[in-house]
Homo-oligomer: A and B are copies of this chain.
């Protein structure tokens, strides 16, 4: 049981969304030039209280009662062909970072939409790799948007037990798996979803809902041009009822976790260089001249040090903790539910940390994770970083920094506060370069989308853990905030190894496993579509 819990909790932390970065870098101009230097007022992190003992329990939602036996039979009868469809996708490389096979994969996706009977199936040109748009008109009341990504991460073939683009069936302790780049992130779950469509259409003639599919080929690059795809269909997308992101939702022990929200993010670089304030402008100088020349590295260190308390955990930027929406009643119930399965020691063990900040535990740690903005240094560098000794006074130093924003905070406003604080402390010369930013996203557990998916999960396996919001980020705001649609990553099945060697997707689980195999994954998608169509 311990290791099962361990693995389930691990799944909470592994969420394969790349950062959604802006394509354009932009300098953040000082807002308060030459403001007087003054110490920031006493700042404390906000403490939000959970005022209810009410607990959201997904077990109270009845399992989906529908049964679509003809469709299930079609899936079972065609399972070998369905596996072949997954292999066909995985055998087509589509490495966005290296532009390997990307357009061929886009064309394959488009052609599959045509073959399934979509009325619209077209490539969507962007300033980067093309998107793919598909529209299936079922004449239904409800319309579901499906987000897809057809690109994959690069590979180091020598690290793989089976070649990453052969998509072989491999026997593993968990059962028979497809091993391939993209197996679980996200070709496997996505093509399984299309297989479900195929069996519905073959058996029933048409789908129970209308579908709008937006597929991008740059998710692994941070989705820099995905907004252009949304732009092209924005008015039609607004008319939909929800957004589904097909994914492998089960841990190795079969437990399912659902994520209803994510934090926003601003990712930026802070840089000190020599110049008017002091220090060498154009190149490093001999380190002994620190005695006469200012140092951009010390400058950056001193500027950064003004941003946080001595322990690095409380941000001293005025207003940094403002605008956070306190826990709603719904979120409080979800937190109480999540707290029932939360185990700090297991998570700390996974991270190899001895304790959370301020020795927080349990529900207090969950609330901190969801409602406190964080300020993290992702990287810092300047000068000589090789082995041994080299004596230089570097002419520049840079830090990569991200702030994660709870629901309610505005990315540009947060960055402007940091800019204003540095200016007020006398660090107007520190350049801030925004590399990416978007706000938080939140979907209600009460939406028909989420309720339908929980019903289907409850039909096939144990009731899911529902996590109200990750401390991590994904660009779901494009749907939730921009288009006003609920969004849910959902699907049975298990896979792992995203961005790593030996990525796999379980096709036929081992005897006694609670993981869904491919047939069950597809049947669950069938049920979700019918449940949504009701």
Which residues in A have some Cβ–Cβ distance to B below 8 Å?
13, 19, 21, 222, 263, 265, 267, 274-276, 278-283, 285-295, 297-299, 301-302, 304-305, 308, 310-313, 351-357, 360, 365, 368-369, 372-385, 388-395, 397, 400, 402, 404, 426, 435-436, 470-473
Main SS of the interface on chain A? mixed
Beta-carbon nearest neighbor of A269 in chain B: B389
**Is the Cβ of B292 less than 8 Å from the Cβ of A365?**
yes
**Is the Cβ of A400 less than 8 Å from the Cβ of B375?**
no
**Is the Cβ of B379 less than 8 Å from the Cβ of A380?**
no
A364 smallest CB distance to B (angstroms)? 10
* Complex interface: chain B residues within 8 A of A19 (CB): 389-391
- With beta carbons under 8 angstroms apart, the residue of B21, B286, B384, B402 that contacts A472 is B286
* Complex interface: chain B residues within 8 A of A381 (CB): 380-382, 385
**Is the Cβ of B393 less than 8 Å from the Cβ of A376?**
yes
**Is the Cβ of A378 less than 8 Å from the Cβ of B392?**
yes
**Is the Cβ of A379 less than 8 Å from the Cβ of B365?**
no
Further contacts, 17 of them, CB under 8 A, given A291-B369, A291-B471? A21-B389, A222-B389, A278-B353, A279-B353, A281-B353, A288-B374, A290-B376, A291-B374, A293-B356, A294-B312, A299-B312, A301-B377, A302-B310, A376-B393, A377-B383, A380-B383, A383-B400
Taken together as a complex, chains A and B put the C-alpha atoms of A181 and B372 apart, in Å, by 59
Contacts A302-B310, A311-B302 given; indicate if A388 touches B280 (C-beta within 8 A). no
* Complex interface: chain B residues within 8 A of A360 (CB): 292
A372 smallest CB distance to B (angstroms)? 5
* Complex interface: chain B residues within 8 A of A351 (CB): 280, 285, 289, 293
Taken together as a complex, chains A and B put the C-alpha atoms of A263 and B384 apart, in Å, by 21
**Is the Cβ of A287 less than 8 Å from the Cβ of B393?**
no
Taken together as a complex, chains A and B put the C-alpha atoms of A301 and B377 apart, in Å, by 10
- With beta carbons under 8 angstroms apart, the residue of B274, B310, B391, B402 that contacts A378 is B391
- 16 A/B residue pairs, CB under 8 Å, sorted by A: A278-B311, A287-B378, A287-B404, A291-B368, A291-B369, A292-B471, A293-B357, A294-B312, A295-B312, A301-B377, A302-B308, A378-B392, A381-B381, A385-B385, A389-B400, A389-B436
Contacts A302-B311, A383-B379 given; indicate if A278 touches B389 (C-beta within 8 A). no
* Complex interface: chain B residues within 8 A of A402 (CB): 287, 389, 391
- With beta carbons under 8 angstroms apart, the residue of B297, B352, B395, B471 that contacts A380 is B297
**Is the Cβ of A275 less than 8 Å from the Cβ of B377?**
no
**Is the Cβ of A274 less than 8 Å from the Cβ of B388?**
no
* Complex interface: chain B residues within 8 A of A388 (CB): 21, 222, 435
